[in-house]
Each structure stands twice: as structure tokens, then as C-alpha cells.
A and B are shown apart, each in its own frame.
Chain A
Amino acid sequence: MVEENILVDPFGWGVLILIGTSLLLTYRVLFGPTLADRVVGLNTITTKLVVIIAILAALRREFMLIDLAIVLLMVNTVGALIIAKYLERRGKND
């Protein structure tokens, strides 16, 4: 039995608060002074997104979405490592 309204569960309110903190962090992504600040903000938002996907998969009882959360975490890892390497080499060439 799947509820349509997710806010009857405390985990639904948790999802709502996590979306609120992600919107707060959008300030750091948009107006961060350097590129590294933007990467930190994006990385944090993606980790919160992984948690949100896991909670929604458990609430809607579609457990295959947890695999999707794992894949999103790994893709985020590769992206952040590539941007870190880019930062390092850009400093060397200047």
C-alpha cells in the first residue's frame, strides 16, 4: 500500500528540509568567489540528493532506485576528481 502524500511520514519532512538546505547552498554555487567554492557547493548538494533519492525509494517502495543512488554517487566522485585535476593543472600553467 503506497501513500500518495509523502508528508504523512517524518521522513517526508526530512526530504523537505533537505531540499531547503540545498536551496540555501545554491547561493554558494552561484556567487562563490572561486571555482573551488562552487565545486564544494555542488558536491554537498549531490550528497544531499543521494540521500533524498534513497528516502523516496524507501517511501514509494521501489527499491531499484537505491542502485540509482549508488550510481549517482560514483558519477559525482569521478566528476569532482576531474575538476580537482583541472584546478591543479591550471595553477601550474599560469
Chain B
Amino acid sequence: MIEYLLLTLGVLIMIFGAIGILRFPDVYTRLHAATKCDTGGAMNILLALAISIEAPLLTKLKLLVLAFLIALINPMISHAIARGAYKSGIKPQTPVVDMYAWDNP
């Protein structure tokens, strides 16, 4: 039962992440939606899969290793893309404050 609850939660998080990527105004806010919703949704679905399948223990552990690698790799990629986008000249739209531009003119 709990695996279907986790699956529903993960799929809903993925759908809201897609809506966020389509609606947000600039790259950085889109990266917020991409990173958090992808990591949370993928970890929920893989956890549900690891609970529900009938397989030897090492296969379930392999699914958990896949979830761990997603949680390790996704924030790193988002950091690299945000830094590259800022260095290539894309300014954030309507910022309250931009302390990164103060220090790197």
C-alpha cells in the first residue's frame, strides 16, 4: 500500500516540476524547479520500486544506489549550469538584490 502512496507522491512532484519549468521567468528560477522536483520525485519513485519488486536483496540495494547517485549528481549539475549561465551574461530578471554582480563586475 505504501509503495503506491510513494508512487503517487513522486508522480505529482514530477508534474509540478514540469509546470514550474514551463512557467518560471528566467534560468535560475527554472533551475530551482528542475533540481528539487526531479530529485524528490525520482527518489520517491525509486524507493517505491525498491519496496515493491520481488527480487534478491542486492537488486533492491542497486535501486537505492541509483537514488543516491541522483541525489548526489543533480545539485552539482544545477550549480555548474547556474555558474555557466551567469558567466555567459544571462542576468536574472527583476532581482531584489544581486550581490554576485557587486563582487564580479
Spell out A's residues near B (CB within 8 Å). 10-11, 14, 17-18, 21, 24-25, 27-28, 34-37, 39-41, 43-44, 47-48, 50-51, 54-55, 58, 61, 63, 66-67, 69-70, 73-74, 77, 80-81, 83-88, 90-92, 94
CB atoms of B11 and A17 under 8 A apart:
yes
A40 to chain B, nearest CB (A): 5
Where chain A touches its partner, the secondary structure class is helix
Of A18, A39, A54, A91, which one neighbours B81 at CB under 8 angstroms?
A: A39
CB atoms of A54 and B88 under 8 A apart:
no
CB atoms of A47 and B70 under 8 A apart:
yes
A11 CA / B89 CA spacing, docked (Å): 42
Task: Determine the residue in chain B with the shortest Cβ distance to A73.
Answer: B69
Summed over the interface, the residue pairs from A and B with CB atoms below 8 Å come to a total of: 132
A88 CA / B27 CA spacing, docked (Å): 15
Where chain B touches its partner, the secondary structure class is helix
Task: Determine the residue in chain B with the shortest Cβ distance to A94.
Answer: B89
Q: How many residues of B contact A (CB 8 A)?
A: 43
Taking CB atoms and an 8 Å cut-off, the chain B residues in 53-86 that contact chain A are: 53, 55, 59, 62-63, 65-66, 69-70, 73-74, 76-77, 80-81, 83-85
Neighbouring B residues of A11 by C-beta, 8 Å: 7, 49, 52
CB atoms of A54 and B66 under 8 A apart:
yes
Task: Determine the residue in chain B with the shortest Cβ distance to A41.
Answer: B21
B49 to chain A, nearest CB (A): 5
Q: List 29 A-B contacts (CB under 8 A).
A: A10-B7, A11-B7, A14-B7, A14-B45, A24-B22, A36-B88, A40-B27, A40-B30, A40-B31, A40-B34, A44-B17, A47-B38, A48-B14, A51-B42, A55-B49, A58-B63, A61-B55, A63-B59, A67-B62, A70-B69, A74-B73, A77-B73, A80-B80, A83-B84, A87-B84, A87-B88, A88-B83, A88-B84, A91-B84
